[in-house]
Chain A
Amino acid sequence: MNLQKARNVLGNYVFVIPAALLFFTFSLYPFFKVFQLSITNWDGISPNMNYIGLANFKDLFFDNPTFWLSMKNAFYVTFLALAIQNLLALFLALICDRDIRGGNVYRVIFYLPPVLSGIVVGLIWNWIYDGNYGLLNHFLSFIGLGDLSRAWLSDSKTALICVAIIHMWKGFGWGFVILLAGLQSIPRDLYEAARVDGANSWVVFKNITAPLMIPVFVLVSILTILGTMQIFDIIIATTGGGPGYHTEVPITRIVSTMIGSSKFGYACAMGVTFGLILLAISMVQIRVSKAMRQV
């Protein structure tokens, strides 16, 4: 009887073994390995590695302005995405939440850029921003603003904001879909009741919609922050981090430290630092949202 039971349990394990095996090999092992490598000066090739304690981190914090510049760039794009992209998404979602004709068609169109890859989107926009033949310059000279023309992505003044615009173009439809789903889960009779009481649109939004949407707002902003800070594909397809270091972001720094300069240990230290910063941001946001809900 006991043997029977043991065989039964063993048989149950068979169901999870493939998943567990893959997970331990390709998720858990790399996760811990990054921490281990981050305290070495390993170059990725040589058979032996030296433990150098926190030297990588010390260098990263005090002697690596490029990394912190890349962090600043990512924060800049993230800030724009939070402010402009999400506000646009919210505004569109509020419009489509009223029974508007063709609402589903708009939804299908808005979610089109998010299903494309960053590479494809970046390459298309390259062609729009191009300095010699780009559509944007053609358009500017057409409306008589030809002297604004420039190579938008290789001009240090405009490169970062142009990349941010591509990123927001690709991303707002995603926020829109989630926010709309949130709005549609709000019971309609709440609105009816407020209308009967004579509340106008702004009062309804402030007193009913916004408080009920706080969890969705938090979710969208956390995912926007995590997604935008880790922006990579669009950068690689457009500027590659240039001109100079003007559009470098943390992931491009990590990749070029790893592949370009073969400093695997150092790249891992960058990854750990960056990961902890992201974790801290999302913790703060969850805290803030909890506090806000209690008000």
Chain B
Amino acid sequence: MSVFNPASGEVNYERVKKMTVSFFSHCFLISVSATCLFPLWWAFASSLKTQQTVFNDLSLFPKVPQWENYLFAWTKANFSLYFLNSLIYTVTVVIGVIVIASMAAYAFSRLEFPGKNALFLILISTMMIPIPGSFIALYVLLNKLHLVDTRLGYILPQINGGLALGIFLLKTFFDDLPKELEDSARIDGCGRFRVYWHIALPLARPALAVLAIFNILAVWNEYLLAMLVLSRKELMPLQRGLMVFQGAHITQYPLLMAGIVITILPVLVVYLLLQKHIIKGITAGAVKG
């Protein structure tokens, strides 16, 4: 099918219209995409300029890229420390959420105990009630427990923060899973913990992946709690470190941008590798309401 049919001399107007619409659609989509990507590229390009050139050199591909900015940010500006902290927090919280939420979700789906429905309802309802300001009371509590300015004080509330959505997602997943496999394992004498650990959990891998990515992004990007709870530099994650660096060296743009790129890079890798799961996750996360 072509636009113009030379044999009959007719123009296929339907086709022309379709192509025009498609052309303008792409133009629009590409310009929006450029708007998304440009600031990020600008930050990256700025991170490769010198303190002198960064203010006037507008090139998007610096002629002499200053890769040593990254070395400097990593070693002298503490970003290696912040990076390690972010990594510790993210790994611990994600493992915590996955183990604790999956155990609870398995119990809500498969096991019987008094108060089950009430407990589930309370857990889920907190997902829907906005409680801005509960961080004040959380801070007071952490203070009482002597957890302010400790790693544990930053980790535990975040594990808790991931539980409601995690339990909800995994319970739905377990509910849809056929019971036969677990039943036969039970008949073979497996205890309920082994059934959960060796049979149910491996089957839930797709849901666990969604949950993991969700929490990786949430913890890596968290700021408010880090600001309230952590004041020692040795404990700060990247987001907090960036703000501290900006506060101390407000005009050191190349280094700040290098720090930003260091902060973004892991997110970018995780996102590009697992974007299908992420998209699934937000749609599932949104449907919870």
B-binding residues in A (CB < 8 A): 9, 11-13, 15-16, 18-20, 22-23, 25-31, 33-34, 37, 44, 88, 92, 95-96, 98, 100-102, 106-113, 115-120, 123-125, 127-128, 132-133, 135, 138, 169, 173-174, 177-178, 181, 219-220, 222-223, 226, 230, 232-233, 236-237, 250-251, 254-255, 258-259, 264, 267-268, 270-272, 274-275, 278-279, 282
**B residues in contact with A33, CB < 8 Å:** 137, 140-141
Task: Please measure, in the bound complex, the distance between the C-alpha atom of A282 and the C-alpha atom of B127, giving whole angstroms.
Answer: 13
Interface size grouping (class) on chain B: 35 or more
**B residues in contact with A11, CB < 8 Å:** 192
Q: Choose among A19, A138, A174, A226 the residue that contacts B282 (Cβ–Cβ < 8 A).
A: A174
**B residues in contact with A29, CB < 8 Å:** 137, 141
Task: Please measure, in the bound complex, the distance between the C-alpha atom of A177 and the C-alpha atom of B284, giving whole angstroms.
Answer: 11
B286 lies within 8 A of A120 (CB): no
Name B's interface SS: helix
With both beta carbons as reference points, the residue of chain B lying nearest to A185 in the complex is identified as: B283
Name A's interface SS: helix
Task: Please measure, in the bound complex, the distance between the C-alpha atom of A272 and the C-alpha atom of B289, giving whole angstroms.
Answer: 22
Q: Taking the nearest CB of chain A, how far is it from the CB of B23, in angstroms?
A: 11
B33 lies within 8 A of A237 (CB): no
**A-contacting 9-mer, from B67-75, B176-184, B203-211, B270-278:** B270-278
What 0/1 pattern do residues 259 to 274 of B give for CB contact below 8 A with A?
Answer: 0100110011001100
Let me know if B95 is at the binding interface, CB within 8 A: no
Q: Taking the nearest CB of chain A, how far is it from the CB of B127, in angstroms?
A: 10
A19 lies within 8 A of B101 (CB): yes
Q: Taking the nearest CB of chain B, how far is it from the CB of A164, in angstroms?
A: 15
**B residues in contact with A127, CB < 8 Å:** 42-43, 46, 253, 257
Q: Choose among B58, B104, B160, B196 the residue that contacts A16 (Cβ–Cβ < 8 A).
A: B104
B132 lies within 8 A of A15 (CB): no
Q: Choose among B55, B112, B136, B161 the residue that contacts A34 (Cβ–Cβ < 8 A).
A: B136
Supply 30 A–B pairs (Cβ within 8 Å), ascending by A: A9-B112, A9-B113, A19-B104, A19-B167, A23-B164, A30-B131, A30-B138, A34-B131, A34-B136, A106-B29, A108-B275, A111-B279, A112-B36, A115-B271, A115-B278, A125-B39, A133-B56, A135-B42, A232-B223, A233-B223, A233-B239, A237-B243, A237-B246, A255-B224, A267-B133, A268-B137, A271-B131, A271-B133, A275-B130, A275-B133
Let me know if B123 is at the binding interface, CB within 8 A: yes
**A residues in contact with B192, CB < 8 Å:** 11-12, 15
A9 lies within 8 A of B133 (CB): no
Task: Please measure, in the bound complex, the distance between the C-alpha atom of A23 and the C-alpha atom of B56, giving whole angstroms.
Answer: 52
Q: Give the top 7 A-B pairs by smallest Cβ distance, nearest first.
A: A271-B133, A117-B221, A15-B107, A30-B137, A33-B137, A19-B104, A26-B160
Q: Choose among B33, B131, B239 the residue that contacts A106 (Cβ–Cβ < 8 A).
A: B33
**B residues in contact with A13, CB < 8 Å:** 113
What 0/1 pattern do residues 36 to 47 of B give for CB contact below 8 A with A?
Answer: 110110110010
